[in-house]
Amino acid sequence: MGLNEPGKTGGSTAFAVLVGLSVSHLLNDTIQSLIAAIYPLLKDAYSLSFTQIGLITLAFQLTASLLQPFVGLYTDSRPQPFSLPVGMVASLAGLLLLSVAADFTTILIAAALVGVGSSVFHPEASRIARLASGGRHGFAQSLFQVGGNAGTALGPLLAAFIVVPCGQGSLAWFSVAAVLAMVVLARVGLWYWSRLANRPMKQKALVGHSLSRQKVVISLAILLSLVFSKNFYLASLTSYYTFYLIDAFGVSVQAAQVYLCVFLGAIAIGTLAGGPIGDRIGFKAVIWVSILGVVPFTLALPYANLCWTVALTIPIGLVLSSAFSAIVVYAQELLPSRVGLVAGLLFGFSFGMGAVGAAALGRLADEVGIAAVYKVCGFLPLIGLLTAFLPNLRGRK
């Protein structure tokens, strides 16, 4: 199907649109991941503490998380087909500012600008992915999200071989990625605009289940708790894994970045698998396995040698990452007329928990050491037991 050809929800999947969203997600999250990937460089250059490293993540994640639900709520009633390339302008500005930042305050502002671009991108892109899914909602969310995970994995690799050797100023080279994303998103916006132009003026509210309002609210609260456990733990690895490897095993900065890329690559593969599996067996089942399934690995990680540490992060990334696509689609089925709000809430809460986790764990690392962080965080996936209280939506449709 061509990019400009409108697809129908419940009909054929607009695969070209999903690929465009996934590619733009890759470019967007590559830019975002460069911030965390250059933490060792910034720490040495500006003599930053772990607490300040956590505050940089906090600045980025808070602007990304706080705005997303409001963007999603607004676009549920007033879709904005071309908001995606416009939002990318903020990410471009933040990237260029970070490349010339000379003090901690400027770094915080640059990180916050990248977060603003993210807050515009995720809820509306998730809505378009669902619209283009042809009813394969899990597949569409996974394909969309795997682009972001791939970008997150690619960022540390690019930082290790480009930014670390060439310096902070080389971040400006990645403005090409932002411009390319704008071009792709403009094409996606044209498809979305044509889809909106052809839809009926009035649409009947969608109802996918017979759950009470109270049950829906409780279910959303459980999903947010699961997102908390997932992202708080992931924050310990995405923000401090390189420091842990350097401190515990004496590896070089470049080697630590490569090991981080291995973990993030496992996350990308797990994300791609989670949605299609959920389409087949149900999203609640995927949530069960993906949250609780990592407990043996997270508990063993702090006591492993270098080889086993790298090996353990692979199943952790594969299994834990399969949860988010399932959680997003499950929540959108709870509120099918508010898919933008749901996406904004979950993506925003996800980023927010990553921010709080990075700041809190940075403080803990300063106080008791980075190794203790992983001993504490290893128990977080046990929150996945709350999945037992989620209703089975497949049986209620």
Q: How many residues are there in the chain?
A: 397
Cβ neighbours of residue 246 under 8 Å, at least 6 residues apart? 40, 252, 253, 256
Q: Which letter does DSSP use for residue 160 in this model?
A: I
Q: What sign results for the dihedral spanned by CA atoms 357, 362, 364, 368?
A: positive
Residue 191 CB contacts under 8 Å (≥ 6 apart), including other chains? 3, 4, 5, 6, 14, 17, 132
Range of the domain at 250: 15-199+208-391
32 inside domain: yes
Residue 9 maps to a domain:
no
| Distance (Å, whole) CA 305 – CA 250 | 12
8 in a domain, yes or no? Answer: no
- Interatomic CA distance for residues 136 and 154, integer angstroms: 27
Question: What region does 311 belong to: left with phi over 0, alpha with psi -120 to 50, or beta?
Answer: alpha
Burial readout 217-239 (b: 16 or more C-beta within 10 A, e: otherwise): eebbebbbebbbbbbbbbbbbbb
Answer yes or no: is 397 within a domain. no
The pLDDT profile of the chain, 397 residues, written as one tens digit per residue, is: 344 443 444 445 688 999 999 999 999 988 887 887 778 888 888 888 878 887 887 788 778 777 888 888 888 778 778 888 988 999 999 999 988 888 899 999 999 999 888 888 888 888 888 888 888 888 888 888 888 878 877 877 788 788 878 888 888 898 899 999 999 999 998 998 888 766 654 444 455 557 788 888 899 999 988 888 888 888 788 778 888 898 889 988 888 888 988 887 788 788 888 888 888 888 888 888 888 888 999 999 999 999 999 999 999 988 888 888 888 888 888 888 788 788 888 877 776 776 677 778 888 888 888 888 888 888 988 888 888 888 887 544 4
Token reading at 60: 């980025």
CATH number reported for the structural domain that contains residue 52 in this entry? 1.20.1250.20
Within a domain: 296: yes
Is residue 320 within 8 A of residue 381, CB to CB? The reply is yes
Closest to 316 in 3D by CA, of 295, 294, 289, 292: 294
- Contact present, 13 and 133 (Cβ < 8 Å): yes
Residue 1 lies in a domain: no
Give the separation between CA 299 and CA 282, rounded to whole angstroms.
Answer: 28
String of DSSP letters for 275-343: HHHHHHH-HHHHHHHHHHTTHHHHHHGGG--HHHHHHHHHHHHHHHHHHHHHHHHHHHHHSTT-HHHHH
Listed residue (149, 150, 390) closest to 278, CA to CA? 390
For 340-361, give one letter per residue: b (16+ CB within 10 A) or e.
Answer: bbbbbbbbbbbbbbbbbbbbbb
Q: In total, how many domains does the chain have?
A: 1
How many H-runs (helices) and E-runs (strands) does the chain carry? 15, 0
Task: Identify whether 295 is part of a domain.
Answer: yes
In a domain, 3, yes or no: no
State the Cα angle at 332 between 328 and 337, rounded to 5°: 150
Alpha carbon distance 8, 14 (integer Å): 8
Q: Cα separation of 294 and 316, whole Å?
A: 6
What's the token pair of residue 281? 């067996």
